[in-house]
Structure 1
Amino acid sequence: MSLGTSLRGLTAVHKGTHQLFARINTPAPVSSSDFYLHPAIMDSALQACVALLADMDMPPVQAMQPVALDTLTIVSGCTGEMYAWVRYSPEPQPEGTLARLDVDLCDEQGNVCVKMRGLELSYFSDSPTLSSTAGYNAETTGETWDKISYLPRWEEQAVLPQKTAKDHKSVLIACSGHGYQFETAIQDFYKQHSHCKATLVRLSNKTKQLADTEWACDISDAGDLQKCLQKTEAIDAFYFLAMNEKAQQPFSYKELADNQERNEIQMLRIVKYLKQSNKIGEKIDTYILTLDNHSVDQSSNQCFGAGVAGLGYSLAQGKYQFLVRNIDLSSEDIKNKLHQATVFESVYNEPPSGRGEIFKLQAGRRYRQLFLPLNWDAGNMPSIRQNGVYIIAGGSGSVGKIITRKLIEKYNARIVWIGRSAGDSEKVQTALQLHKEFIGRVSYFQADVKSPESMQHALGLIKEQYAEIHGAIFAGMVFDFENSIDETTEAEFRAILEVKTLGSWIFYDALKNEPLDFMCYFSSGQAYSFSGASKLSAYATAIASADRLVQYINQGAAFPVGIINWGFWKYSVNVIAQETQGVATENLDALEDDEGFECFEKFVNELKMGRINQVLCMKVPKQMEALMNSKTDEYAAFTNELAACSALELEIPREKIDALKKAHEKNQLENWLAKLLFHLFNNMIEWSGPSVPTTIADLQKQCNIKDKYLPWFNEGLNMLAGHNYVQLKGDLIVHWKEIDNKAIIEEWQVQKQKYCDDIEFKSLVILLDECIQKLPQVLQGHLLATDIIFPNSSMEKVEGIYKNNATSDTFNEIVANGAVAYLQHKLITGPQTRLRILEIGAGTGGTSAIVFPKLRPFQQSIEKYCYTDLSKAFFFHAEKNYMPENPYIQCQRLDIEKPIQDQGIEIGSYDLIIATNVLHATKNIRNTLRNAKAALHKNGFIILNEMSDKSLTTHLTFGLLDGWWLFEDANLRIPNCPGLYSSGWQQVLEEEGFVSVKFPVKDAHILGQQIIMAQSDGVVRQKITKTANQKTELPPRQASQTVEPKKNLAQKTATRDQTGAKYQRTYKKQHPGLFIRHFKDVFR
């Protein structure tokens, strides 16, 4: 651990037998009078405790931590020089702790000032502690949520239905950069309409006509735009492409300024020209397109032209004819020209937004930004350091002054203001006077944040006065309440824009080599369309641009960089009311000073921990609630952080995989199943085959197949088409192959016996054969598929598919190896680690049976293995077969489609989750992953064993079950199958906040399974449930009343099958705790 100068007070140590005497001096940077019980002295006393234990047989560089203290007695305050007497406590040492000590702190005269009794120390452990999110529910969320903090996230929306073509006659396309020539895809679309003329204007450094309807336009000459558009008729569709495929970091101040001129300024110029020259039809469909400005998975982004989105807010909210679509595209989608037409169809199909809201199009999906109520981690202590030095650009502004005062009052900070005004100006002096009681705590340096030279000069002066700078806040802004698109000029617009964009970059660039604890940018709710922007065209543009720039900066910064989007502060509202005429402030619900500063403190904590880097902090007025896409039935929270595990050395059974791959190449089972299915359809239509061409609907009628099985039927035909038995064109069957139906069954009987003689295939083929034989009865509604696959609710027929065959066992072995590798990694970083593992959908233990033997050598390092499933019936199997040798197992019912906390699983309480062939079997995979992720602490691992592709094997068995088709998110799944391809898992895991997504055996995916490993980023998203806080109230017990079991309950218990009785006798002998838990469960 690296300690700063304030925590280096231990100056001498004298060790005796089982005791120690140490001298402690108050460090120079701080005064002993600053604190009654000085934290530096207390920390030094703990360091002395560690020194006493140094002669123990302790692993090198293994950190210790205090875990408990019986009593703390303060007799008097600390002095500048103290002495610590540390010895072992006479009280017994609790199990699991390293030592139990008593400590006295004395002054120079030997007077005891502080007594600590029963100080318990232990090795620093990665065992998770419960997050402060524990206990969140519908009733308490209202109490724990501060009503002002929101976490912005992107959420997938339904794909829009295709709309009829718009009757565009005159189209203007303006492009400011090189966006994979996407503008040509737009041109090509309109070339198909002979009545439409599309004019392309390339914003450039010179003006030149390139073709009949294509111009290069000089951005430095406002008049040249008229030359390019003088022959253009009234525009009814306008595309502005602020896209640059070549934008990369780092870039220079000049490149940023040029970017601003090519995008935000040019779009303003074009809009104003179209309005002033009457070049607009009655309505103008407007498409504002950016590229990679927003990241769905909160990873990397670009910032080229990002401000045009904010200008789009103002354009949409003003009283104009512009029908605005604000769309951010993805490079991966358009860099291949073959895909551009498809992407443009989605752009063209996007409806206008009345407020200019941004939508993200990526990988064929449409995303909208939402705002989750954010429950801060109340368990974390503020991480802002005492006596730190903090630079605030714009510190003399309203919010800057509040933050300054609070930092000084609470953290004894020294604040450096940077501003454009002269130090002796009335504005600056008035602001400084407000802090006159903090003598020497606030200083002011004049600098223009839009000038790199000015900022560098100011920083040099600051560093002459302060040896270190610990944090930086950018609060610079220029604000104008009357700045609509009609009213603003390019000069006014540019002035407001430059402070936020150029200023943000130059501020960072000046400080990028300083060892800062954090850099925080103060932004505004104007970054989002729900905030009013009709009269704030430049400010909305500047905020939208600066936010994307700061997120861009964060990707390469050596310290945490983040953004707070503030709503109005009450102090600011009062200033506005006093200084600005004609602006109504009475309906503004604003932040109190303490509320805002507390949000700032908590954000800095999370920013430094790396859990979030942007938050919205505002009191949302009622009239704005309807405009804000806030999820009132969900919340976001945090789980505790443990050491990251970047790469596991996972043991791969390579010989087994290679053998399975060779066997797979020779396996003809899928071909046989296709032949048998085709034979069966022929049989259902009396061997003649359908008269082709025919519709699928007609064939369904001929086969008398129930409508509920139509999806299954359609997919069956698709699979047969893949095997060349049929040929499909849309809903038409245009070819039906002729085969010898009678010979097929005879050949299959021979082949089936060969499969049944092979342990690898026996269970699967027996089940398949029975399903195929009874398939007509199932499809025609005479028999339930469950009666075939799970006769009498038994798992016997499917057990052999999930275990005791080479493929299943090999993939389960990889899962087990992953669990072992993770545990070994944790033991290296923390030898006292006690791992908590959660298995979702354990069932009959196909995976567990292989995991448990692998974990046996590490039994003492496992605190808990939570064996879960939807049905408690599986727990008897686990209790009989696994618990005797693995006492850390606990069985618990879990429905992973529901919030976990209501089911007795604490948020952030597990290190590792494993799940085999279970997560796909849920309605909404995102919701499922959110619930699973909620159980993990930050950096906790999830290991999944899932199907990698669809097959006739599954289609003819589990595909017949209703549950197979219950998924609601078909766009994420393998077509007509609940599974996900690897690319789908990668995308949805990353978008849900999992990092380091890996597929350790990609080459084995052809075997039908895949292993996925990922880590949690520590941000939890859960639904609020109204049952979570309902407590069961027992009726008052009367003195004479006795409680007897009801007769029917007693009878149920008495008539439990003999196997159950055998379990009970075993529990009494060997595991009485298990028997008691089982009895309680039965009694309930």
Structure 2
Amino acid sequence: MLIGNDPLGYKQLTARYPQAVSLLLDGNESIEQLTELLREAGPIEHLIWLAPTTLAQDGDTDGMIRAQQGGVLGCFRLIKALLALALDQQPLEWTVITRGVLTVFGEASSRHQVVTEPVAPAHASVHGLISAMAKEYSHWRVRLVDLPEGDGWPNLDPLLLPADPRGDALACRNDVWYRQYLAPCLPLGGAVGRKGKVESLYRDGGVYLVIGGAGGIGRLWSEYLIRTRGAQVIWLGRREQNSQIDATIAELAKLGPAPRYISADASKYAALQQAVIQISAEYGRIHGVIHAAIQLEDQSLARMDQQRFTAGLVAKVDVCVRLAEVFEHQPLDFMLLFSSLQSFTKSAGQSNYAAGCTFKNAFGHYLAQHRAYPVKVINWGYWGHVGSVASEDYRRRMAEVGLGSIEGEQAMAALETLLARPLSQLTFLRTSRRLSDTFSSLELPRHPAGPFGEYGEIRPEAYPSLIARMKKHLVVDSKGVRATTQQAEAQRATIDALQGRLLYSQLQQLGWFGREREIIAEMKQRSGLMSMYYRWIDRSLDELAQRGYLHMEGGNSPTAYRVINPQPLAIEPLWTEWEAQKPDWLEQASLKAEVILAEATLRVLPEILDGRIAATDIIFPDSSMAMVEGIYKYNPVSDFFNEVLLDAMVEFVKGRLEQSPETPILILEIGAGTGGTSARAFEKLRPYQRQIGEYCYTDVSQAFLMHARQAYGLETPTSVISFSMSTSLWRSRVSRLVVMIW
């Protein structure tokens, strides 16, 4: 069943899936109305829901509040209607599609943070709701997809993507699919500028407005700023000032200027604007704004009504939007949005809070594109001693999943790091176990290689960045290479399909796929497969399963497979088909080298796998690079990327020489291989030969290094060319390293 909440989205869905039952909604249907519509539509096995259209360029921030009605609230009512029909008692497949919600590409600048990819945050709240739903109804198969803005669709049908039990999203950009994950950030010392001065967006005696400041985390932040900066803090809250607030103000007044409390609903434009006018009249300009408001309304989706869901959402969505409106033209030093780890855990029973947090994250990125001041987002972990969940029982429950309580001084140091560095968003948590164990317990998104598979280090800037210069001068025209690759796409698809059949047939020659069900470990032994190819066969079996030849058993680490069609696949007709089409393939410069190499290895694949022939004897016949050289050069795709890479390198070298003309430049090429990149690099570096201190050509293969010595050792225009199987000799010189190529 297809569900569109606006005519444009409905048209996209029905054009894409014309055979499906479809519903066009206006986003205002009640739960009862939706229940009847679904009942009339008949049995539902797969539900496809496309978020209403919004544009990143649309400056109507107030429209983002209205958009929640047909977006996350419409989706919430749809879930409630499904529950009313008892569909929670049976399997159901979901595909939920948003557009331009996630930030995939971004960069830092001197303005501390700017996101280059347009963000349309209105329906980011849908991501929080759907992910929490996936955890509450684990028997529902959920895929959450974020496509680029516009009406285009990726080549890979989103319905073919695997469902995610955590409900985490996949984002498609330029036909490449991305998954979000958390990467550790390692701050090394303070935020020190080139002149040795610690930088900060906080100012001594600054005036700061804190929404929700009288609460736990806001109060702690206020104490820190009053104590360390002598700041004047104004709290804005919905409740009337009472004795508890008075007592807190009196306590903090012992440290510096007494906080001021104003009772106003920041989710209402008029109320917030009036408060800001009052503050400006009394204190002059406001230097920073902090959104620390929170309203927890935890409950399962089955028990939660729309009023409760909306209340949790408003504290995030409406307040963010009103702050953006009121402070649109104010000369702030910064705006800081307090969000939560819930943005990534999206826990069961907290769907409204998760929806608000995912909106807040995306809105922070959006606002940074449209304001002259930095906008930062901090995702807090568990606060066990202040705030709305500061109880012994909650601390015990958090400890069981690996979360310790955040301490104030550590948290304030994390904020200093966020505000002083070109970071747009930072997550801060304290663990009670190893980081990897906590990530596993909370099912946090992480790099495939583990929490530290990729991480960042904050280091002092050694010299001014040249990124802006490179972007300004680097001109990239990809039309030619795109046209070339598009011409070859149909043939590439044919080659790929035929390679899959040849792979299956050649593995049959070694005894694979002879029975309906086989244990993988036993087949590795029975087929005579060399142990060095065990990982290769695992990946090949997975590839064949994706192509419909096999069904894998055992989850993420398969132990067995079932053969879809046990009948042997004859090899000779396949090679006859290959030979018939090969002349056309070889006419395509972007395919020629791949076709030659693939055929050479596939024809003797059984002999390679059982050790009768060494793979290197086929790939490098008589120690020649001829078989693989065409993959890396004399190929329109690799030649294009080599040119772009090396043009960027030259711009970097030119800029560095302008900064420091006498400093010798060291260049390290990692994984130089056959020298496809190196040869052009030497040509482009010829005008700067006297300034190049060393060009180090590295690879793990001695054969590649020998080839490079023969091909380039005597002709390089650089002062020195060195050859190395590792970079260990460079460790003492890494502080002078200027360019790395890989």
TM range, smaller chain: 0.5 to 0.7
Distance 2:671 2:475 in 1: 24
Aligned counterpart in structure 2 of residue 506 of structure 1, from 293, 311, 322:
322
2:680 maps to 1:865: no
Give the CA deviation at 1:403.
Answer: 1.4
Q: Which residue of structure 1 aligns with residue 669 of structure 2?
A: 839
Aligned twin of 2:237: 419
Residue 5 of structure 2 corresponds to: 175
Instruction: Give the structure 1 partner of residue 466 of structure 2.
Output: 643
Structure 1 equivalent of residue 425 of structure 2: 613
The separation in 1 between residues aligned to 2:641 and 2:77, in whole angstroms, is 61
Partner Cα distance (1:698, 1:421) in 2: 69
1:615-764 alignment runs, 5 A limit: 615-619=427-431, 625-626=440-441, 627-630=443-446, 631-638=450-457, 641=461, 642-644=465-467, 645-647=469-471, 649=473
AA aligned to 1:250 is: D
Q: Which amino acid aligns with 1:881?
A: L
Preserved CA contact (<8 Å) 1:599 1:617: no
Structure 2 SS opposite 1:521: strand
- Give the alignment's TM-score, normalised by structure 2: 0.68
The structure whose residues are more often strand, as a share, is 1
- Residue 560, structure 1, aligned to residue 374, structure 2: yes
Q: Return the alpha-carbon distance in structure 2 between the equivalents of residues 906 and 447 of structure 1.
A: 59
Which residue number in structure 2 is paired with residue 920 of structure 1?
none
Kept in 2: contact 1:283–1:321 (CA 8 A): no
Q: Alpha-carbon deviation of 1:469?
A: 3.6
Residue identity matched to 1:200: L
- Decide whether aligned partners of structure 1 residues 818 and 300 sit closer, same or farther in structure 2, where only a CA change above 3 A counts: closer
1:551 aligned partner:
365
Displacement of 1:594:
1.4
Structure 1 contact 309–326 (Cα < 8 Å) conserved: no
Q: Deviations over 1:887-929 (max 9, x none)?
A: 56554433xxxxx789848888643334xxxxxxxxxxxxxxx
Take 1:868 and 1:913, find their aligned partners in 2: how far apart are those partners?
11
AA partner of residue 839 (structure 1): E
TM-score by length of structure 1 reads 0.48
Is 1:289 equivalent to 2:97 in the alignment? Answer: yes
Q: Distance in 2 between matches of 1:333 and 1:187?
A: 18
Q: Determine the structure 2 residue equivalent to 1:243.
A: 51
Q: Is the 8 A contact 1:242 1:305 kept in 2?
A: no
Aligned-partner residue type, residue 239 of structure 1: L
In the other structure, the counterpart of 2:714 is: 881
Alignment deviations for residues 678-717 of structure 1 (CA, whole Å, 9 cap, x no partner): xxxxxxxxxxxxxxxxx9699989x99x999999xxxxxx
Tell me the equivalent position of 2:280.
463
1: CA distance, partners of 2:395 / 2:184: 33
Counterpart Cα distance in 2 of 1:866 and 1:738: 42
Alpha-carbon contact 1:834-1:862 (below 8 Å) kept: yes
Q: Is the 8 A contact 1:473 1:519 kept in 2?
A: yes
**1:435 alignment partner, SS class:** helix
Instruction: Work out whether residues 566 and 618 of structure 1, in 8 Å CA contact, stay in contact via their aligned partners in 2.
Output: no
Do the aligned residues in 1 keep the contact of 2:470 with 2:652 (CA within 8 Å)? no
Superposed CA deviations along residues 416-452 of structure 1, whole A, max 9, x for unmatched, are 3232334x43343233223111332533344322122
Give the conservation status (yes or no) of the 8 Å contact 2:346–2:354. no
User: 2:167 — aligned with what?
Assistant: 356
Q: CA deviation at 1:479?
A: 1.7
Alignment of 1:1-16 (within 5 A): none
Aligned counterparts of 2:44 and 2:599: Cα–Cα separation in 1: 59
How is 1:929-944 mapped onto 2 (pairs within 5 angstroms)?
932=742
| Count of residues in Structure 1 that have an aligned counterpart in Structure 2 | 621
Separation of aligned partners in 2, 1:773 and 1:374: 45
Instruction: Show the counterpart of 1:315.
Output: 133
CA contact (8 A) 2:54 2:120 kept: no
Q: Matched residue of 1:480: which SS?
A: coil
Could you tell me which of 380, 383, 389 is aligned with 2:199? 383
When residues 840 and 575 of structure 1 are mapped into structure 2, their CA distance, relative to the original with a 3 A threshold, is closer
- SS of 2:236's equivalent in the other structure is strand
Q: Which amino acid aligns with 2:318?
A: L
Q: Is the 8 A contact 2:199 2:420 kept in 1?
A: yes
Is the partner of 1:181 in helix, strand or coil?
A: helix
Per-residue deviation, 1:618: 4.5
Asked whether the 8 Å contact 1:455–1:510 carries over to 2, the reply is yes
Deviation per CA, 1:364-397: give whole Å up to 9, x if none: 6654433333222435335324403333222111
> Conserved in 2, the CA contact under 8 Å of 1:564 and 1:616?
yes
- Paired-residue identity, %: 24
Counterpart in the other structure of 1:73: none
Please give the per-residue CA displacement for 1:444-477, whole angstroms capped at 9, x wherever unaligned. Answer: 3443221222222222233334444433221112
Secondary structure of 1:504's match? helix
The SS at the match of 2:18 is helix
More off after superposition, 471-480 vs 484-493: 484-493
Out of 183, 189, 213, the position equivalent to 1:372 is 183
Letter in 1 for 2:273: Q
Separation in 1 of the partners of 2:414 and 2:306?
36
CA change 1:651–1:260 in 2 (3 A) is closer
Local SS of the residue matching 2:348: coil
**Given residue 257 of structure 1, which amino acid in structure 2 is its aligned partner?**
I
Conservation of the 8 A alpha-carbon contact between 1:238 and 1:284 = yes
- Cα deviations by residue, 1:609-667 (Å, 9 ceiling, x for unpaired): 2x443435343676763323442452411365523224465799xxxxx9xxxxx9xxx
Q: 1:595 to 1:909 in 2, by over 3 A?
A: farther
| Correspondence list, 1:255-270, <5 A | 255-270=63-78
By how many angstroms is 1:238 displaced? Answer: 6.0
Hey, what's the Cα distance between the residues in 1 that align with 2:707 and 2:103?
Answer: 42
2:407 to 577, 583, 592: 592
Relative to structure 1, is the Cα distance of residues 784 and 237 closer, same or farther in structure 2, using a 3 angstrom cutoff?
Answer: closer
1:204-247 superposed Cα distances (whole Å, 9 cap, x missing partner): 5xxxxxxxxxxxxx44x6654455456455x5446362423442
Q: Indicate how the Cα distance of structure 1 residues 177 and 827 shifts in structure 2: closer, same or farther if over 3 A, else same.
A: farther
Change (3 A) 1:772 1:175: closer
Separation in 1 of the partners of 2:419 and 2:83? 45
Q: Please, which of 207, 212, 215 is the counterpart of residue 394 of structure 1? A: 212
Distance 2:504 2:35 in 1: 62
| Closer/same/farther in 2, CA of residues 558 and 892 from structure 1, 3 Å limit | farther
In structure 2, relative to structure 1, the CA distance for the partners of 1:380 and 1:834 (3 Å cut) is farther
Encode CA deviations 1:525-563: one digit per residue, 9 max, x unaligned.
2212x35331x2322222222222222223333232222
Are the counterparts in 2 of residues 414 and 442 from structure 1 also a CA contact under 8 Å?
Answer: yes
Of 102, 119, 124, the residue aligned with 1:301 is 119
> Is residue 542 of structure 1 aligned with residue 360 of structure 2?
no
Does the residue aligned with 1:408 lie in a helix, a strand or coil? helix
Shift of 1:345: 3.2
Pair 1:582–1:799, CA change in 2 (3 A): closer
Per the TM alignment, residue 260 of structure 1 is displaced from its structure 2 partner at its CA by 0.9
Tell me, yes or no, if structure 1 residue 911 matches structure 2 residue 719.
Answer: no
Q: Which amino acid in structure 1 is aligned with residue 361 of structure 2?
A: D
Residues in 1 aligned to 2:712 and 2:35: alpha-carbon distance in whole angstroms: 82
Counterpart CA distance in 1 for 2:473 and 2:640 is 17
Distance 1:618 1:453, change over 3 A: farther
Letter in 1 for 2:59: F
- 1:826 maps to 2:656: yes
Q: Where in structure 2 are there 5+ consecutive unaligned residues? A: 107-116, 193-197, 489-500, 511-526, 541-568, 584-591
Alpha-carbon contact 1:173-1:199 (below 8 Å) kept: yes
One-letter amino acid of the structure 2 residue matched with residue 638 of structure 1: E
Q: 1:357 to 1:577 in 2, by over 3 A?
A: same
User: Does 2:300 align with 1:484?
Assistant: yes
The one-letter code of the counterpart of 2:667 is I
* In 2, Cα distance between equivalents of 1:225 and 1:775: 56
Separation in 1, partners of 2:94, 2:632: 55
| Corresponding residue for residue 556 of structure 2 | none
Letter in 1 for 2:314: E
Counterpart of 1:1077?
A: none
CA 1:853–1:358: 2 relative to 1, 3 Å: closer
| Alpha-carbon distance change, 344 to 697 in structure 1, aligned in 2, over 3 angstroms | closer
- Give deviations 1:821-865, integer Å, cap 9, x for gaps: 432233445556654322234568776566557646646654553
Q: Which has the higher helix share?
A: 2
